[in-house]
Amino acid sequence: MEHEEVKVRRGPRSRLPIVVAIHSRALGPAAGGIRLRRYPDWRDGLADALRLSEAMTAKNAAAGLDFGGGKSVITLGPGVELTPSLREAALLDVGELIESFGGTYFGGPDVGTGPDDMVVVRRSTSRVFCLPVEHGGTGSSSIPTALGVFAAVRAGARHVFGSPELSGRTVVISGLGSVGALVARHVAAAGARVVVSDVDPVKRDSAYEWVDPEKALRTPADILVPAAVGGVLSPELVPELAAPLIVGPANNQLTADPVADELAARGIVWVPDFIASAGGAVYTLLREVERLDEAAANARVESIGATVSAVLDTARDKGTTPLREARQRVETRLTGR
């Protein structure tokens, strides 16, 4: 096991299996959101927590933050109805488990949770970020995450097309959740033709063109933005991809690291997800822990663009892949070498 500490507990109030996985605290206390999602089996939720916490180590390290990686997962089994009272019970349970780490892990929102949920978690632990502003937090991390993704998209476009301008470019966004919807707004405002998709048809928005979710990743485009859950870029899909640039906020987009080599071999530029998606962590941790003001924290989020440029340019110059370059940056921070 590569992880430092993993706790799995059936929530005493909710009776739901809850996981907190700490991958690394080498750079400081671990930080990472609380995911609330349906899984076929709680073990799938455990596997997700292990992968997601490892990705948080890379994300926080590559972004220059003095935080390690961790993640919480509340697993909802098939057929279990998520009533408001079950939700409250699960959030109190996860808070209690977070509290048991004695300040070496901090939670926040992730897929399935938001700032209002953090108010409930706060009743069990003070180690939680992104409370609404009226509760003393900095609110939704989706806003800075989307800002960072937009900076990454522009930097990717500069690398691939020679210009960061998006006007006239076709951008496919797969996943219209809290981050995907904001990324759509940014790229549309920049003049792109925006095509969106989501597994939930009620997300269909007349402001954008719509493509069915099973077709989204294969839709011809200049830029593909994976903004749903992970594990979408597989060896089977690579030959069918139809965009020269892939960059988006979904965590753990590759089914496995070697997919990065297959993407590169096809001439597709893939921006590592843990670089592109760091805006929420960067903004939240700098504001709530380092006490930076909004402008300074946003400037650090925008600097994700410079990191993406450096990673892509160096990979091209050295003939490696963006993933290798990005992993090298993480290694350097973790080991000083």
Neighbours of 114 (CB within 10 A): 17
Task: Classify 9 as helix, strand or coil.
Answer: strand
Nearest distance in Å: CB 280, ligand PHE? 4
Distance CA 183, CA 181 (A): 6
Q: Which range in 1-9, 104-112, 169-177, 259-267 contacts ligand PHE by CB under 6 A? A: 104-112
Nearest distance in Å: CB 147, ligand PHE? 13
Site string for ligand PHE, 110-139 (x = CB under 6 A): x------------------xx---------
Element (H, E) at 123: none
Distance CA 132, CA 189 (A): 27
Token pair 């989501």 in the structure block, residue: 198
Among 17, 29, 68, 108, binds ligand PHE (CB under 6 A): 108
Distance CA 89, CA 16 (A): 9
Which of 71, 203, 215, 318 is an active site residue?
Answer: 71
Return the bridge partners of 36, or none: 74
Nearest distance in Å: CB 62, ligand PHE? 12
Active site residue 203: no
Question: 194 vs 248, which CB is nearer to ligand PHE?
Answer: 248
Give Cα 125 distance to the centre of its chain: 23
Q: How many chain residues interact with ligand PHE (CB under 6 A)? A: 15
Question: 114 vs 244, which CB is nearer to ligand PHE?
Answer: 114
Element (H, E) at 75: strand 68-76
Question: 87 vs 127, which CB is nearer to ligand PHE?
Answer: 127
Nearest distance in Å: CB 284, ligand PHE? 5
Phi, psi of 33 (to 5 degrees): -75, 175
With contact defined as beta carbons under 8 Å apart, do 276 and 304 qualify? Answer: yes
Nearest distance in Å: CB 254, ligand PHE? 16
Question: 111 vs 153, which CB is nearer to ligand PHE?
Answer: 111
Distance CA 296, CA 278 (A): 16
Q: Which range in 29-37, 82-90, 261-269, 300-308 contacts ligand PHE by CB under 6 A? A: 29-37
- Strand pairing report for 34-38 and 68-76: parallel
32 makes contact with ligand PHE (CB under 6 A) = yes
Which two structure tokens, joined as six digits, stand for 157? 């476009």
Residues of span 263-292 touching ligand PHE by CB under 6 A: 277, 280-281, 284
Task: Classify 65 as helix, strand or coil.
Answer: coil
Q: Which range in 7-15, 102-110, 217-225, 252-260 contacts ligand PHE by CB under 6 A? A: 102-110
Among 31, 61, 192, 241, binds ligand PHE (CB under 6 A): 31
**3-state percent breakdown (helix, strand, coil) of the chain, nearest 5:** 45, 15, 40
Residues of span 50-69 touching ligand PHE by CB under 6 A: 59
Binding site for ligand PHE (CB under 6 A): 31-33, 59, 108-110, 129-130, 141, 251, 277, 280-281, 284
Which active-site residues does the annotation give?
71
